Amino acid sequence: MSPLHADSTSRSRATEELRARPRVRSRVGRALLVSAGTSSLGLAVLGIWLPVLPTTPLVLLAAWLFSLSSERFHSLLLESRLFGPIISDWERHRALPVRVKILTVVILAVSISISSAWLVFAHGKPAWAIVVALIGIAVAAFVLRIPTRPKVEAEER
């Protein structure tokens, strides 16, 4: 079985498992959850470029909100080339690969360093640089506290 086929099969399995979950039945409740999921996904996309917005947790939040409110949006998110693997991996293992965690922390550290230096040297605002650095440390700690998927399972994929 090709890796591509195996990945789509696991995504389908994850989607089928989610169909069994209790879903919000009221129109207002679904609309609120879809709105919250869309907002979370929008912030996640911004988080790709902005240092203090954690992309992965916001994508996972959007996936959870869509799983409760809209099978269509949840399926679209699972089928996304950018976010689908992160979500299906999370739904299967409730953990992130070490590669994703390292990449997240490195990108965060670089962007926080650049932002802090810009605040200090271009604007003379060291207090704001400290605030940005503290937020970055909090986000890094949050990402590092997410369980790490064992390497053996990562290599089986």
pLDDT one-digit tens code per residue, 44-76: 999 888 766 778 888 989 999 999 999 899 999
Is residue 85's pLDDT more than 50? yes
Mean per-residue pLDDT of the chain: 81
Compute the average pLDDT of residues 19-39.
83
E strand or H helix that includes residue 65: helix 55-69
Distances (CA, A) of 105 to 20, 24, 98, 122, 153: 35, 35, 11, 25, 22
What's the pLDDT at 6? Answer: 46
Of residues 14 and 129, the one with the higher pLDDT is: 129
CA-based nearest residue to 21, from 78, 70, 57, 93: 70
Please give the torsion angle defined by the CA atoms of residues 75, 2, 149 and 97, in that order, rounded to the nearest 10 degrees: -80
- Asked if 45 and 85 count as a contact pair (C-beta separation under 8 A), the reply is no
End-to-end CA distance of the chain: 11
Compute the average pLDDT of residues 98-115.
87
Distance CA 132, CA 113 (A): 9
What's the pLDDT at 76? Answer: 92
